[in-house]
A and B are shown apart, each in its own frame.
Chain A
Amino acid sequence: MRGLLSKIVAEVLWPVLWFCLGLFVIMGLLTALLPKVLGNIHEVFDNMPLVKPLITALLGVDPGNQISAQLSQAFLWTHPTLLTLLWAHELMYCSRMPAGEIDRGTADFLLCQPVTRVQIFLAESIGWLVSGAVILSCGCAGHLLASGFVHPEMRLPFRSALLVLGNLAAVYLAVGGLAFLLSACSDRRGRAVGIVFAVLLLSFLLNFLAQFQEWAKSISWLSIMEYYRPAIVIQSGLFPTSDVQTLLGLAAFSWTTALVVFHRRSICTV
Chain B
Amino acid sequence: MSVIETSGLTMSYGARRGIQDVSLQIEAGEIFGFLGPNGAGKSTTIRILMGLLRASAGRACIFGMDCWKSGALIRRDVGYVAGDVRLYPWLTLNRGLKILSQIHGRSLQSEGRQLAERFRLEPDLSVRKMSRGNRQKVALVLALATRPWLLILDEPTSGLDPLIQDTLMVCLRDLAAEGRTILFSSHTLSEVESLCDRIAMIRGGRIVEYDSLTSLKARAPRRIQILLSPDQVPPAEWPDGVRVLWQPQQSGGQPSTQRDLLSIPPGLLSQTCLLEVTGQSSEFLKWIAGQEFADVTIGAPSLDILFRGCYADDEDENRDAPAGDGTAIDTSAQSGAVT
Contact = CB atoms under 8 A, between A and B. Distances in A.
A114 B53 CA distance: 16
Interface residues of B, number: 32
Contacts of B104: 3, 114
Interface stretch (B72-80, B243-251, B270-278, B284-292): B72-80
Contact of A111 (B52, B78, B102): B52
Given A4-B103, A113-B75, A106 B86 contact: yes
A212 interface: no
Contacts of B82: 105, 108-109, 112, 269
A267 B52 contact: yes
Contacts of A116: 71-72
Given A112-B75, A114-B75, A270 B43 contact: yes
Interface in B57-100: 71-73, 75-76, 78, 80, 82-84, 86-88, 90-91, 95, 98-100
B102 A6 contact: yes
Given A112-B75, A116-B71, A267-B52, A3 B101 contact: yes
A268 B13 contact: yes
Interface in B26-55: 43, 47, 50-54
Contacts, number: 82
Nearest to A119: B72
Nearest to A265: B54
B19 interface: no
Contact of B52 (A3, A11, A115, A266): A266
A92 to B, nearest CB: 15
A115 B102 CA distance: 11
Interface in B228-243: none
A115 B101 contact: no
Nearest to A116: B72
Contact of B87 (A6, A109, A266, A269): A109
A102 to B, nearest CB: 10
B139 interface: yes
Contacts of B83: 270
B164 to A, nearest CB: 20
Interface string A82-119: 00000000000000000000001111110111111001
A267 B48 CA distance: 10
Contacts of A268: 13, 47, 52-53
Given A106-B88, A114-B73, A10 B95 contact: yes
17 contacts: A3-B104, A4-B103, A11-B90, A105-B84, A108-B52, A108-B82, A109-B82, A109-B88, A109-B139, A112-B51, A113-B103, A114-B76, A115-B75, A116-B71, A265-B54, A267-B52, A269-B84
Interface of B: 13, 43, 47, 50-54, 71-73, 75-76, 78, 80, 82-84, 86-88, 90-91, 95, 98-104, 139
